[in-house]
Amino acid sequence: MTPAELAAASDLILPMAIRVAATLRVADLLADGPLTARVLAEKAGADPNALERLMRYLVARDLFEVDEDQGEGEEAPAGRPTGGRGKAEARFALGGGGRWLLDGAPGSMRKWLDLEGFGGHMDRAFFGLLGTVRAGGPVAAGNKLSLSAGAAASYDELMGERARSEGPALAEAIDWSRFGHVVDIGGGTGAQLIALLTAFPKLRGTLVELPASVETARREFAAAGVTCEVLGGNLFELELPPADAFVLRYLLHSFEDDQAVEALTKCRNALLPSGSVFVLEASNTVPAVFAAMDLLMLVLGHGRERTLAEYDAAAAAAGLRRAAIHTPTAGPRALEYIAAD
């Protein structure tokens, strides 16, 4: 890496500017056409002069466009914000990059970049990275229970959108008809279970989730027209219902090793004969992505990413052995574990 590349990689201006634009929903406000900084600021609830300066920076980075409409009267100096003081007012419009900040656009990043949502919670955690590295963990380890109501709702929304896009692929990758009862532990508001129960109507489903997400999950099941039991509570304090399929999607990486083994042990103890436990987690086939996620779990303070060998070891400690690896066309791989004896 050259000094110039290091400088670009360590620059915080662009990442934070993009997040502010995402939080203010600037792209959506410009979706119907160009607006002056004054009108845009009024709609966004921001200061006109400060927002214009932000927008000019993002124009320079090719996320938005600007039309310098000077009209009549004295022209504003080139590149200088008018702040509403002169007659000249620039009109800002969507650029190519800015379209990825549209809320409803396919592949939109806006909700992940919203500083007032769960994405902002993750971003702010990295400002404590120095102390975390010195101490071996954050001062206060967090989890979904520690989030504000807004951030927790944002978390469920983000995870739900991802599960809705990946759930059908999981339904296709595994023959779920061989099971009678599937329990999704930590399945959020039920998007993944909805995909499975829709594809396999004879399958009985149970969602195990923290109480804060229960009512939303029930509404989601009703809206999808599927019947599913919802069990609210902390996994480590609940007695899991007997079932022949347990699904833990992006859950074990939220736990340290002892808790991961405990979670798998609870599944093993409730597993019916010939049943399976499915662990859906990212693989380490792309080292940079795997390392980034592991660092994220460190600053959030309650988990870690694991290699295949490490998941196998945790499963073995819980009395399970790996029977197969399933690779859906979208989403994480599914490690299938069965009783070791």
Q: For 208-234, what is each residue's pLDDT tens digit?
A: 998 888 999 999 999 999 999 999 999
Domains 3-105 and 155-284+303-339 agree in fold: no
Residue 199 vs residue 7, higher pLDDT: 199
pLDDT number for residue 151: 76
| Per-residue pLDDT, 161 | 83
> Mean of the pLDDT values across residues 303-324?
97
Residue 83 has pLDDT above 50, yes or no: no
Instruction: Tell me what pLDDT residue 14 has.
Output: 94
311 pLDDT above the threshold of 80: yes
Q: What is the pLDDT of residue 140?
A: 62
pLDDT at residue 85, rounded to an integer: 46
253 catalytic, yes or no?
yes
Q: What is the pLDDT of residue 78?
A: 44
Mean residue pLDDT of the chain comes to 89
Mean pLDDT of 83-104: 78
Reported as a pLDDT band with limits 50, 70 and 90, residue 77 is very low
Portion of the chain with pLDDT greater than 70, in percent: 92
- Give the 3-state DSSP-derived string for the chain, with helices as H, strands as E and coil as C: CCHHHHHHHHCCHHHHHHHHHHHCCHHHHCCCCCEEHHHHHHHHCCCHHHHHHHHHHHHHCCCEEEEEECCCCCCCCCCCCCCCCCCCEEEEEECCHHHHHCCCCCCCCHHHHCCCCHHHHHHHHHHHHHHHHHHCCCCCCCCHHHCCHHHHHHHHHHHHHHHHHHHHHHHHHCCHHHCCEEEEECCCCCHHHHHHHHHCCCCEEEEEECHHHHHHHHHHHHHHCCCCEEEECCHHHCCCCCEEEEEEECCHHHCCHHHHHHHHHHHHHHEEEEEEEEEEECCCCCHHHHHHHHHHHHHHCCCCCCCHHHHHHHHHHCCEEEEEEECCCCCCEEEEEEECC
pLDDT at 96 over 70: yes
pLDDT in tens, 261-306: 999 999 999 999 999 999 999 998 889 999 999 999 898 887 899 9
Q: Domain spans of the chain? A: 3-105, 155-284+303-339
For the domain made up of 3-105, the CATH class stated in words is mainly alpha
For residue 312, pLDDT over 90 is answered with yes
Mean pLDDT of 55-63: 95
Q: Is the pLDDT of residue 12 over 60?
A: yes
155-284+303-339 classified as CATH 3.40.50.150:
yes
73 burial (CB, 10 Å; 0-12 / 13-18 / 19+) is exposed
- What pLDDT is stored for residue 141 in this prediction? 58
Q: pLDDT-based confidence at 244, cuts 50/70/90?
A: very high
Residue 318 has pLDDT above 50, yes or no: yes
Supply the pLDDT for residue 245.
98
The pLDDT value recorded for residue 118 is 87
pTM of the model: 0.83
Q: Is the pLDDT of residue 341 over 70?
A: yes
The tens digit of pLDDT for each residue in 131-161 reads 889 888 876 655 666 677 777 788 788 878 8
Catalytic residue among 121, 181, 253, 302: 253
